[in-house]
Amino acid sequence: MGPPGGGRNPTDIRFSSKFSVFNLPFPTMSSLRRIYESILLHHFEPFDQSIQKSVIKIVEASLYLYSHVTSSLPATPNKFHYIFNLCDLSRVTEGITLPVTNKFKCIGSIVRLWSHEVLRVFQDRLVDSKDRNLVKNKMRKLATEYWPQEAENAYSEPLLFGSYKKANLSVGDLLPGEVKDVIADDQAKEDSKEYEDLENYDTIKPIVEECLESYNETRLRMNLIMFADALGHLARIHRIIRMCRGNALLIGYGGSGKQSLTKLATFIAGYALHQITLSRGYGDEAFRQDLKKLYNLLGTMNKEVVFLFTDQHVVDASFLEYIN
């Protein structure tokens, strides 16, 4: 259990006295530097020397930003989800280790990637412009301090990174009880996973529209207009589902495109989409059976699947216990 605060209540002394208390102190800054520097140095070993030498700066900037966010944006009753921990710092590091050498040949491209990852991890969950600007301004200040020559390019907008410039469009359908394999050669699969700077909306719009056209040829048609915000949200969703243990809570008004963009992002990633089908009498037991089918696809058949669960599917509050 964590310490009290951020929605966590203190336990009664009489209760805690029945246990042997084992305290795990938070790692020191020097320990965190050592951990994340080791990860990045190993990943950037085949990269240019200038990139290898910047690892210390990348880690220090990430730690300072993390400390600033945790101290400036505490959880409150209105913002109870403002809970930041080392998992977020690890997510930033994981995102920085996604690129390959032939796409990132200079320190400027890595600094731009760092700027993108810290915004995706820390800024995307914030609910008002004041909080978002706080993170963005701190990121810009750190970029200017550590990389003065690269700073302007590092946070020039739009910051768009993804792995679908070479999206494979031959994707299998998820049929009842089965998943078809992605029809593609190994090299095409690897090419489609190249995490790179997507540059701007004009660059990716024709790619996404081509993917949407291919989607509509084989699935229930979606009439989407790919404007800038839609392209940005699509890139965010696609990034999340392509990462290990990726999951997202999409919040927005009905009809804003949450499900449609998730379906398109799943298609572009080459994954299968799994949803439950509600029927009369659908309850706890039926939901458990659907989850077993999903786990069988993932664990036994080793399929890449996105589970799309909407608020309309919560016909019983007990469903949330399984999701949680």
Residue percentage of the chain with pLDDT more than 90? 58
Task: Name the burial class of residue 46, with classes exposed (0-12), middle (13-18) and buried (19+) by CB atoms within 10 angstroms of its CB.
Answer: exposed
Non-local (6+) Cβ contacts of 27 within 8 A are 35, 86
- Domain at 165-323, CATH class: alpha beta
More confident residue, 80 or 165: 80
- H-helix or E-strand spanning residue 162: strand 161-162
Most distant CA pair in the chain, distance: 64
- pLDDT tens digit string along 167-207? 544 444 443 334 434 333 444 455 556 888 888 999 999 99
What was the pLDDT predicted at 215?
A: 93
What would the two tokens of residue 113 be?
A: 């990637």
- List, by residue range, all CATH 1.20.920.30 domains of the chain: 26-155
Tell me how far apart the terminal alpha carbons of the chain are, to the nearest angstrom.
16
CATH of domain 26-155: 1.20.920.30
Four-CA torsion 181, 164, 87, 306, nearest 10 degrees: -30
- CA 139, CA 134: separation in Å to the nearest integer? 9
Strands 196-197 and 272-274: unpaired
Task: Name the burial class of residue 254, with classes exposed (0-12), middle (13-18) and buried (19+) by CB atoms within 10 angstroms of its CB.
Answer: exposed
Q: Provide the 10 A C-beta neighbour count for residue 117.
A: 22
Global pTM reads 0.85
- pLDDT tens digit string along 34-89? 999 999 999 999 888 888 999 999 999 999 999 999 999 998 888 988 989 999 99
Cβ(198)–Cβ(162) below 8 Å: yes
- CA 129, CA 111: separation in Å to the nearest integer? 24
- List, by residue range, all CATH 3.40.50.300 domains of the chain: 165-323
Non-local (6+) Cβ contacts of 154 within 8 A are 108, 111, 112, 114, 115, 143, 147
